[in-house]
Chain A
Amino acid sequence: MTVHDLLPILTALIPLPTFIAFALIILFFNKWKRVSHSIAIGAMLLAFLMAQVVFWSVIAPDGHELAEHPLHVQIPWLPSGAEALEMGVLIDPLGAFVLFFVSITCLCIFVYSVGYMSEGGKHYDPRYSRFFAYISLFATGMLGLTVADNLLMLFIFWEIMGLCSYLLIGFWWEKNYPDPKQVNPRQAGLKAFMTTRVGDVIMLLGIAYLYSATGTLSFRELLSAETLGILKEMPSYIPGLSAAALAGLLLFGGTVGKSAQFPLHVWLPDAMEGPTPVSAMIHAATMVSAGVYMAVRMFPLLQVGFDIHHGAQLTTPMIVMALIGTFSAFMAATIAVAQDDIKRVLAYSTISQLAYMVAALGIGAYVAAAFHLIAHAFFKALLFLGSGSIIVGSHHEQDMMKMGGLFKRMPVTAITFIVGGLSLSGFPLFFAGFWSKDEILAVAYHAGFNEGIVLAVVVYVFLALGALLTAFYTGRQICLTFLGQPRSDHAAHAHEVSWTVYVPLIALALFAVFFGYIGIPEVFPLLGGEHSNLFHHFVGATLGTETLHQLPHPEQLDLLPFVLSFLISPLGLLAGYLVYGRKPLQAGQPDPLVKALGPLYPVLKNKYYVDELYDAVFIQPAIKLAKWVYKWVDRWFIDGILHNVARGAFGLGHLNRRFDLAVINGGVDRMTDGIKWLAQNGRQVLQTGQVQHYLLQVLFFLCGFGVLYVWGDAILAFIQRLLGI
């Protein structure tokens, strides 16, 4: 047995240490705060080392070898009949890179949490141990999702993360705000859970549909040319859609929920109520990336039938992805411009950047999407951790209008934050964000103007505008936070927190700069060369992609996007500086944008009123419906049955008694007593909190379905005859 044979087993063990850490902390060590964080970090370090061993063992200049022979091990989980449900792990080029960035960001965030949750060792959070237990479980979910070799396992870990997200957003559940309109952590957790649930249910439908259509959920079998060919030809329930398209659309529903795309984006900004390491880990670097990761993973399925050289037909899922991605990217960028909370700006920026990836997938640029996914994870985790450092350093002040002048007081945080900001805005040449965003824009331009896909033109224009806005709000954020004079006492007394906080910042800053150099396009002047785009050669050969050679990929440099991508970021940053940096705001002075944007500003500030719209369209009607159902279905219909049965039996009992007084024995007595009691006390509603009442409703509907199943045709015929049809 060689080392290479052991790698799949090592891969299977990666999610294990953090899970053990979770169990140990919850069961035994929740009283000892330092022991808890040592266990969690130790476990994460072990997982990190294992992940890095796997990554560096499989990495190669060309990914085809790994794509054809991925690290793969599986065991039968539960044989049922002829089919056995198999569980296993799989590492292909995409999985290797995702494992790489997930293990790094998770480790950084674990270390950072020590400083953040204890405020630099001075004041430990009362639920400090529980926090580390939760994030350990979360890391298990993310690592497990990365190595999963089938959709079902992916979904299980996906749900584990959803649960952790809920627990961690509501971590400070006792917190209330004086303003009832402001979402408190409890509500934010619920909102996140319920909103993503919508997407998850749609995704589960997609998984079930795929299984019923193909009989397998394993990525290797699903994404083989053979299966994809069958799915492409198979008609679905909806006329005009192939089975592949329908399954793809349903799966994409999961991405929309998890990666916070319009119209399910509303949970992510409110999720900022959680502790900042959580925001960084779950809501920037890992969990929200899982949605895009799944879409990239299933991309061969989503694009089945797309052939750029023969008619250039985008498939339905691709069109949907391109539209939703473009719209979310632009909308979120505009909202971010008008936010004052330092974390909310970053939250909307996350929605916007994830939307870039979705839009890139929509026009076929899956490598660019994967590249941006990883680059974004590094710089956005960095930005969030930086903002957390600012928040703790300036005594829990989150309003940028009350910051200012922090550069001198928190130099390490400031420099790393600015590095992250420049990377986010795609500042040319030196930052990872430039290379990844440039690749998306270049492919979009190529597909739109050289290949003639009209939709790609739209994608390009709006993504470019969005990039300009991104640079502008990044400039605004940096100027408001670090330049000028402090605009409150808190900011005036700000200071660096501790080494556990800024060491992870430095580590992530290095990646936010240097990660981009493994993905320089071949056609780039001077820097580009035959082997410069390592990322493309490696990840481009991901599982199932042998079926898709016909994707837009620029063969030579397009001058216009090249020049534009050099100009957009500096221009946006410059605009931000001119508005906010040249004449720094004074305390109490309103945002200059209020005047400049006029009536548009409140719209942006209130996030296009989407929350209000959802409240009016979904939540209020749901409450009304619930009240209506309660009144008519519960009290009138179900209780009515109960009452009438009771009344009838009561009457019978009376008859019995009058008829047969002499032979009334204990049995009948008992029955009438029971019925009498029932008739008198039966006036109960069914929402009693008693399981038995709920189970009764289940039984009731079960019988109803049974009757429909058995006599459905007869009933239908009867109704038809009754209506004279």
Chain B
Amino acid sequence: MMVQLEWYLILAAALFCVGLYGVLVRRNAVAILMGIELMLNAVNINLLAFWRFTEPAAATGQAFAAFVYAVAAAEVAVGLALIVAIYRNRQTVDMDQINLLKW
């Protein structure tokens, strides 16, 4: 029995939801960043699964996965820098206390 496309999609969706849960509930900013990483990985699984099962001869799916890598790397670098900067300023990385968006 072959592994079907749907299985990969559901696995990716599950990984995405777990990551989403982490992003929405964790109070430590670094932990939130880890959740985002999980979500980005889920996206990449999707892209590569679609590439493998629908158009393995073309490069489109792989190319987009590569761009996700680049964006993820940039996101981690800037995100962590922001966390460190916030920590310096406010001595906390607890999201419940980082509410500068409040008007």
| Interface residues of A, Cβ cutoff 8 Å to B | 79-81, 687-692, 695-696, 699
Contacts and interface: CB of A to CB of B under 8 A. Distances in A.
Interface in B2-29: 20, 23-25
What 3 pairs between A and B have smallest CB-CB spacing?
Answer: A689-B102, A689-B99, A689-B101
B102 A695 contact: no
Given A699-B20, A699-B24, A692 B100 contact: no
Interface of B is mostly: helix
A696 B98 contact: no
Nearest to B58: A81
B103 interface: yes
B38 to A, nearest CB: 15
Contact of A695 (B23, B100, B103): B23
Contacts of B98: 690
Interface in B60-103: 60, 95-96, 98-103
B102 A692 contact: no
Contacts of B101: 689-691
A695 B101 CA distance: 13
A630 B24 CA distance: 21
Contact of A690 (B20, B23, B60, B96): B96
A688 B96 CA distance: 9
Nearest to B32: A692
Contacts of A691: 95, 101
B100 A689 contact: yes
B102 A688 contact: yes
Interface string B34-57: 000000000000000000000000
Contact of B24 (A81, A688, A689, A692): A692
Contacts of A689: 99-103
A687 B60 contact: no
Given A689-B99, A692-B25, A695-B24, 19 more contacts: A79-B60, A81-B60, A687-B102, A687-B103, A688-B99, A689-B100, A689-B101, A689-B103, A690-B95, A690-B98, A690-B99, A690-B101, A691-B95, A691-B101, A692-B32, A692-B95, A695-B23, A696-B24, A699-B20
Interface residues on B, range: 10 to 19
A696 B26 CA distance: 12
A266 B44 CA distance: 47
Interface of A is mostly: mixed
Interface of B: 20, 23-25, 32, 60, 95-96, 98-103
A687 B101 CA distance: 9
A695 B23 CA distance: 9
A688 B98 CA distance: 10
A692 B99 contact: no
A107 B102 CA distance: 42
Nearest to A690: B99
A415 to B, nearest CB: 50
A692 B25 CA distance: 7
Contacts of A80: 60
Contacts of A699: 20, 24
27 contacts: A79-B60, A80-B60, A81-B60, A687-B102, A687-B103, A688-B99, A688-B102, A689-B100, A689-B101, A689-B102, A689-B103, A690-B95, A690-B96, A690-B98, A690-B99, A690-B102, A691-B95, A691-B101, A692-B23, A692-B24, A692-B25, A692-B32, A692-B95, A695-B24, A696-B24, A699-B20, A699-B24
Contacts of B100: 689
A691 B97 CA distance: 11
Contacts of B99: 688-690
Interface centre among A79, A690, A695, A696 (most CB of B within 10 A): A690
Contacts of A79: 60
Nearest to A80: B60
Contacts of B96: 690
Contacts of A695: 23-24
Nearest to A689: B102
Contacts of B103: 687, 689
Interface centre among A80, A691, A695, A696 (most CB of B within 10 A): A691
A690 B94 CA distance: 11
B87 to A, nearest CB: 17
Contacts of A688: 99, 102
B25 to A, nearest CB: 7
A700 to B, nearest CB: 11
A131 to B, nearest CB: 27
A535 to B, nearest CB: 47
A673 B93 CA distance: 23
A692 B94 CA distance: 12
B58 to A, nearest CB: 9
Nearest to B64: A80
